[in-house]
Chain A
Amino acid sequence: MSATATHDELHHDHHDPGFVRKYIFSTDHKMIGLQYGITAGLFLLFGFFLMIAMRWSIAFPHEPLPGWIAMFFPDGWEARWLQDGKLTGDAYNMFGAMHGTIMVFLGVVPLGFGAFGNYVTPLQIGAPDMAFPRLNMMSYWIYLAGGLVMCASFFMESGAAKSGWTNYSPLAGIADGQIVNQWLAGQTQWLIGLVLLITSSLLGSVNFITTIINLRARGLTWMRMPFFVWAMLVTGFLLLLAFPPLEAAGIMQLMDRVAGSSFFMPSGLYTSAEGLMEISGGGSPLLFQHLFWFLGHPEVYVLLLPAIACVAEIIPANTRKPLWGYKAMVYGVLVLGFLSFIVWAHHMYMTGMGPVVSTFFQTTTVLISIPSVILLTSLIISLWQGSIRFTPAMIWACAFLPMFGIGGLTGLPLAFNLVGLHLHDTYYVIGHFHYVVAPGILFGLFAGVYHWYPKITGRFMSRFLSHLHFWPSLICMNLIFFPMLTQGMAGFHRRWYNGGDSYLATDPESANVFGRTVAEHIDLNIVMSYAAWAMALAQVPFLINLVWSKLAGRKVESDNPWNATTLEWATPTPPGHGNFTTEPVVYRGPYEYSRPDHDEDFLPQWTEPKKPAEKPEESPAAH
């Protein structure tokens, strides 16, 4: 492939595709990444909105939803699902199940893996695109279809799925049983959506791994790969191997619903609606939990790794020193990926699996904290003695460290099955994993947005608005999730739609200790709810920033505005179709900052050494 041919091709590709091929059915990994990002962002907002409504019901269970929440509901829908303007238990369950589903499957994974992975990975390895561009496009559209199928069920007679995001059978198996045409029941649509989402992420992960293995630029050996790429590789393998068992479970549950089978339905199942169910029985509800959590736990790392990956790129670029313990982090992430496959049953201590099984999973769960701590510690030590530039991306990355730290450390007690007896299904668990996901992972991803925005658009994001976004978010996050840990230890159950209000009818002098403990901590509900609503406000500057900066932000003057070292900064801004104007060649590791033998405080991977060890065909593009 000669340089002229490349140029001609580029020229050709730039001008030929019409609007539809360029922006909608695009095969360019960058456009697909942006599509993923925007779609996932919208789903995140929707999932967050569901929670805003739920938080009203938790804080003020007797008062109708206020106008600023209720205005989003169509009148007919409100009449069907709300009772005097208040959330009913059914509607709350629906919102709760869909909040979890949307945030995990439609929001964070597509944002981390789909958007950042798609946009950044090929750039960082010096590839012209993903290995299979059309597969990449298909992956996005199947994801969108899956998401829409799931969310459309809000408007069906049955309503959306309502059995929790974990969708445990037999509860999920019997929900919506009153619907004659089971294909049009929300609970079934959830499964169809899930199968589509899994298909999408399988296509995506095959594509990612192939790209990373085979399309690395010349000179980019394994140990010269940025940590980001390593994290994506491991994420790809997690998706590839952990999702199929859930797909099997989804198909089996689908059979239970539409073909009347009893995979997960025990013998003699009796419900208030139908009496003795007309099913064969003999199935195993526990089987569903095993298959679900076989995915469910690696899924946590699918959420986490892209965020850590972003932070690991941002910290060296803004401390102007190499990533501390790069090799340890790479091996750590590989071990983490492996261990994440053998910890799943720590979600199931209360199912009566038996002490032997519990002990095994307790041990592996404690073990997995070792690689996690390696990752986090390396990132923290990377800050040491750095000359830190507090760019917008860096403040988010810095906040990620303690926030994720809290999330991780609050998880340790949950690893022990004895403690699980008390904390299982309480707000403690909710607080723990939200600390990991919301102020942890989302902060990491926000950092990523601020970091790569100049490359994507050619303009910087507003510094003022980013601070206006950051500080309220940081405060609100802690006001929302820290009280959850307290409430959880006081015994608050995670699925109370009225926030524990039923325990307040007891006399203050009563001997009902549980009721009294709940009453003492119930005011926290109000604090948390106000914080959640303020959190929503805090996102407004971000949305404005995204749009305003694209239109009127300060323009970048160089292709490498942060003076970073990895390959994505060697591309034009924004990168065109095919990414690189000349074939990139890599000469060194990814984090060569502040080298004593070099005048500048950074030495990009693509900069030709002064005394070249090997002579490249053409001079690499250094700006």
Chain B
Amino acid sequence: MEIPYVVNPRKDTGLFNSKIAIWLFLASEVMLFGGLFSGYVFLRIGADYPWPERTLPVLPGLINTFILIASSVTVVFAWAALKMRKWRQFQIFMGITVACALIFMVFKGVEYGVKFKHQALRMNDFTMVEGHIGYVKAKGGDDHADDHADDHGEEHGDDHAADYARDVHGEKIEANQHVFAAESVAFNLARYHKPWAEDLIAEAAREGVEVKLAETLDFNAGEGGEEPVFEAGTVLSMDLLDDLADAYADNLTRNATWRKRYLRKAWDIKWEDVEENNLLGEASFAADFPKALELESDERKKAYTRWKAGMRARMAQDVTIDEVKLSSGSKPVTIDDESYASRELPAPGSAKFTCSKPLVLRQKSHDVITDYKADNSTISLRDGTSLAGAYKPSPMDFHDVDGIDFQHLAMDAEKRNLDPEITIENSWLVKNNPVVADLWTMHKDAIAQLEQNLIDHYGYRKGKDGKPLEDAAGNPVAKRVPTEKDRYRMGWQEIAYYMDLLDKHEGEGVPKIDLPKDANAAPKVTMTPKEHFMGPDYGTRSFPHLTIPRSEVLLDAKFTPKWNSYYAIYFTITGLHGLHVIGGAIVLAYYLFFGRSMYLSNPEWLANRVEVGGLFWHFVDLVWIFAFPIFYLM
């Protein structure tokens, strides 16, 4: 059997099979990315927070765009070379195409990597702080500039190993964590999370804390026999937890099986009673509902239906596992002359352990279910584990703050008819941190100058009649004003600029800003070429340090999908696009490296395949051409 039109096109349709298929497939891809792009539009239009604009580094994205466009051209050349049966030329062009794909993915990987290491925080008043956390030693602030070189590369060795907080596995802790000194721990035996229990045991061993079962758990109601008994004082281990969980599950199952049997028996008894005494008959209806006799026959029928239905619900109250209420009194439910109570085995759902001294545990904020209050004496974790003890101070320590953003706070203030600037000055961060207060003073100064520069350069708006426009308060309206982002966000370039001035004028109070009289002047440091790709160079730039107490923390995230819907849709679309790039590159590389034998036996078939692969590759390019402006430029 041979499938026709694999290589040569069918005459009346003019197409070979895979060409139809790839166009159909691309149609479905259009719908897939169409769904995602319309998701972008929907999310952006409906955003109830300031949508991050122009937040990604444009240069690498732009380079990537040209790389992809170039690869789309070379893939056509590769196909043309095959059509002309020039294998060598095909190899060269296809090689360039695959290489372009690799370069694209490297740029993408760098861009992603920077995001995954970058911490963001939303405070209770919607102030946003961006930077890096988890670096302990630099908290004091004196020597941080020297140590920064190590911050971003493991390659520098472990010289400063002690500078980081580390967990039991020796991993650097770069997450927002609750620190809790636990005096006792109660595990939920149905669903405790094994890795956490293992960490807890390791932490206890490291700290020399003994964790022991608080009270004897007898799963056999003191009767001895097969079922296990766990003595108080048994030391916590994974085996012990396993055994406890098994014992719990066994007893639960046994009890449930018996409960079901007793309940069935109880209902059997009840139904016998119902039938014997005709409890659902008209006579009972009339007895229970004397007014029935006065009703019209139609109404009476309805009332009877309702009464009967209601009786079933009421009967459920008469039936329990131990006892059934009957018309003649009540009757205990027994099976083989035994009651359920005599068969029931204890099945405690949790096992409590006490610690010989408070055991300090760290848990990611996301995994702590209880709302934070400094005087909480118990907290519960996502897996149902409950810890009793006391909170330790667990602030978020930022050692390189490279972004302070009041846009959301300002938006919120405007919504409530408050002056955004006053609200910012009253925010926790500005009030409690002198460095941030200085930065804000300088920023306000800079923006005022920027506003003036714009007016000097562009002037005021005029109405149709040529007269200057006035706003409600009678002030002239400038043609161009600083954007919300200019006003309320200090990015890393601004912060580095202000910090530089602060360092130069140390001890002289808040330095004055002196922007050049130019509409394009901005209070920013100039990026080095490396910084275009990797973000700020923490080794040479100076950034402030902040300690944000736990009580001010509302939401934290790396620059990942969790941070906001912009990053969510950015990672989803570019991630899926990246998978398409990888998939396409693998297929094209397969033709390049393993296509030789097909080229020799059936070159037209290989050309068809490259054509189909090339069509896919063009589509991948097209998606990027849509993705680039909406994520990088808008």
Question: Which residues of A pack against B, CB within 8 Å?
Answer: 1, 6, 9-10, 13, 61-64, 66, 70, 75-76, 78-80, 82, 84-86, 128-129, 131-133, 157, 177-181, 202, 205-207, 209-210, 213-215, 240-249, 251-252, 255, 259-263, 267, 273-276, 278-284, 286-287, 290-291, 294, 501, 504-506, 508-509, 516, 519-520, 522-523, 577-578
Contact with A along B244-277 (1 / 0, CB 8 A): 0000010011011101100110010000000000
**Can you list 19 A-B contacts (CB < 8 A)?**
A76-B249, A79-B253, A131-B20, A132-B17, A202-B25, A205-B28, A206-B25, A213-B15, A214-B4, A244-B31, A244-B34, A252-B568, A261-B565, A263-B565, A275-B371, A281-B49, A284-B46, A504-B310, A520-B302
B439 to chain A, nearest CB (A): 25
Asked if B1 and A9 sit within 8 Å, CB to CB, the answer is yes
Residues of A within 8 A of B3 (CB): 128-129, 131-133, 215
Asked if A247 and B32 sit within 8 Å, CB to CB, the answer is yes
State which of A84, A157, A259 has its C-beta within 8 Å of the C-beta of B562: A259
User: Given contacts A85-B260, A259-B568, could you give 4 more A-B pairs where the C-beta distance is less than 8 Å?
Assistant: A10-B1, A260-B561, A280-B122, A283-B43
Asked if A255 and B572 sit within 8 Å, CB to CB, the answer is yes
Asked if A215 and B260 sit within 8 Å, CB to CB, the answer is no
Closest chain B residue to A249, Cβ basis = B35
Asked if B1 and A248 sit within 8 Å, CB to CB, the answer is no
Asked if A214 and B309 sit within 8 Å, CB to CB, the answer is no
Given A64-B260, A504-B310, answer yes or no on A1-B302 (Cβ-Cβ < 8 Å): no
Stretch from B188-196, B583-591, B623-631 contacting the other chain: B188-196
Which A-B residue pairs are the 3 nearest by beta carbons? A85-B260, A248-B35, A578-B1
Residues of B within 8 A of A84 (CB): 256, 259-260, 263, 321
State which of B17, B252, B383 has its C-beta within 8 Å of the C-beta of A79: B252
B483 to chain A, nearest CB (A): 20
Asked if B310 and A505 sit within 8 Å, CB to CB, the answer is yes
Given A202-B28, A214-B17, A519-B310, answer yes or no on A283-B305 (Cβ-Cβ < 8 Å): no
| Interface: B312 (CB within 8 A) | yes
A91 to B316 Cα, complex, angstroms: 20
Asked if A280 and B253 sit within 8 Å, CB to CB, the answer is no
Asked if B24 and A280 sit within 8 Å, CB to CB, the answer is no
Asked if B21 and A180 sit within 8 Å, CB to CB, the answer is no
A253 to B225 Cα, complex, angstroms: 50
Could you tell me which residues of chain B, from 21 to 76, have a CB within 8 Å of some CB in chain A? 21, 24-25, 27-29, 31-36, 39, 42-43, 46-49
Contact with A along B304-329 (1 / 0, CB 8 A): 01111110111110010100000000
Given A64-B264, A282-B564, answer yes or no on A520-B306 (Cβ-Cβ < 8 Å): yes
| Interface: B366 (CB within 8 A) | yes
Asked if B20 and A209 sit within 8 Å, CB to CB, the answer is yes
A202 to B29 Cα, complex, angstroms: 10
Residues of B within 8 A of A214 (CB): 4-5, 10, 13, 15-17, 20
B116 to chain A, nearest CB (A): 11
| Interface: B303 (CB within 8 A) | yes
| Interface: B491 (CB within 8 A) | no
Instruction: Give the most central of A62, A241, A275, A516: most B CB within 10 Å.
Output: A62
Closest chain A residue to B6, Cβ basis = A131
State which of B313, B367, B571 has its C-beta within 8 Å of the C-beta of A501: B313
Residues of A within 8 A of B367 (CB): 180
Asked if B256 and A82 sit within 8 Å, CB to CB, the answer is yes
Residues of B within 8 A of A278 (CB): 365-366, 555
A68 to chain B, nearest CB (A): 12
Given A132-B17, A251-B572, A291-B39, answer yes or no on A62-B28 (Cβ-Cβ < 8 Å): no
Asked if A241 and B49 sit within 8 Å, CB to CB, the answer is no
B254 to chain A, nearest CB (A): 8
Asked if A178 and B263 sit within 8 Å, CB to CB, the answer is no
Residues of B within 8 A of A260 (CB): 366, 557, 560-562
A75 to B34 Cα, complex, angstroms: 47
Given A180-B367, A180-B382, A244-B35, answer yes or no on A205-B1 (Cβ-Cβ < 8 Å): no
Residues of A within 8 A of B313 (CB): 62, 501, 504-505
| Interface: B369 (CB within 8 A) | yes
Asked if B565 and A504 sit within 8 Å, CB to CB, the answer is no
Asked if B382 and A210 sit within 8 Å, CB to CB, the answer is no
B308 to chain A, nearest CB (A): 7
A364 to B15 Cα, complex, angstroms: 35
Instruction: Give the most central of B17, B252, B259, B366: most A CB within 10 Å.
Output: B17
Asked if A79 and B255 sit within 8 Å, CB to CB, the answer is yes
Question: Which residues of B pack against A, CB within 8 Å?
Answer: 1-5, 10, 13, 15-18, 20-21, 24-25, 27-29, 31-36, 39, 42-43, 46-49, 122, 190-191, 193, 196, 249, 252-253, 255-257, 259-260, 263-264, 267, 289, 291, 302-303, 305-310, 312-316, 319, 321, 365-367, 369, 371, 382-384, 555, 557, 560-565, 567-569, 571-572, 576
Asked if B28 and A241 sit within 8 Å, CB to CB, the answer is yes
Closest chain B residue to A291, Cβ basis = B35
Instruction: Give the most central of B42, B193, B255: most A CB within 10 Å.
Output: B42
Asked if B259 and A85 sit within 8 Å, CB to CB, the answer is yes
A276 to B571 Cα, complex, angstroms: 25
Closest chain B residue to A583, Cβ basis = B4
Asked if A280 and B17 sit within 8 Å, CB to CB, the answer is no
A503 to B560 Cα, complex, angstroms: 48
Instruction: Give the most central of A70, A255, A577: most B CB within 10 Å.
Output: A255
Residues of B within 8 A of A61 (CB): 316
State which of A75, A76, A210, A243 has its C-beta within 8 Å of the C-beta of B28: A243
Asked if A252 and B572 sit within 8 Å, CB to CB, the answer is yes
Residues of B within 8 A of A286 (CB): 42
Asked if A178 and B39 sit within 8 Å, CB to CB, the answer is no
Closest chain A residue to B576, Cβ basis = A251
Residues of B within 8 A of A274 (CB): 369
A4 to chain B, nearest CB (A): 13
Asked if B43 and A62 sit within 8 Å, CB to CB, the answer is no
A181 to B47 Cα, complex, angstroms: 30
Given A278-B366, A508-B289, answer yes or no on A206-B24 (Cβ-Cβ < 8 Å): yes
A573 to chain B, nearest CB (A): 18
Residues of A within 8 A of B561 (CB): 255, 259-261
B286 to chain A, nearest CB (A): 13
Asked if B291 and A261 sit within 8 Å, CB to CB, the answer is no
Asked if B24 and A205 sit within 8 Å, CB to CB, the answer is yes
Residues of A within 8 A of B306 (CB): 508, 516, 519-520
State which of B18, B260, B312, B383 has its C-beta within 8 Å of the C-beta of A504: B312
A582 to chain B, nearest CB (A): 13
Asked if A267 and B369 sit within 8 Å, CB to CB, the answer is no
B23 to chain A, nearest CB (A): 9
A75 to B564 Cα, complex, angstroms: 44
A277 to chain B, nearest CB (A): 10
Asked if B252 and A280 sit within 8 Å, CB to CB, the answer is no
Asked if A240 and B568 sit within 8 Å, CB to CB, the answer is no
Closest chain B residue to A181, Cβ basis = B193
Asked if A280 and B369 sit within 8 Å, CB to CB, the answer is no
A262 to B321 Cα, complex, angstroms: 46
A287 to B20 Cα, complex, angstroms: 32
Instruction: Give the most central of A80, A262, A283, A290: most B CB within 10 Å.
Output: A283
A565 to chain B, nearest CB (A): 23
Asked if A62 and B252 sit within 8 Å, CB to CB, the answer is no
Asked if A522 and B382 sit within 8 Å, CB to CB, the answer is no
Residues of A within 8 A of B31 (CB): 240-245
A278 to B176 Cα, complex, angstroms: 12
Closest chain B residue to A1, Cβ basis = B2
Residues of B within 8 A of A504 (CB): 309-310, 312-314
Asked if B310 and A508 sit within 8 Å, CB to CB, the answer is yes
Residues of A within 8 A of B35 (CB): 244-249, 291, 294
Asked if A63 and B267 sit within 8 Å, CB to CB, the answer is yes
A246 to B39 Cα, complex, angstroms: 12
A213 to B291 Cα, complex, angstroms: 74
Asked if B382 and A506 sit within 8 Å, CB to CB, the answer is no
Asked if B309 and A523 sit within 8 Å, CB to CB, the answer is yes
A575 to chain B, nearest CB (A): 11
Residues of A within 8 A of B572 (CB): 251-252, 255, 261, 263
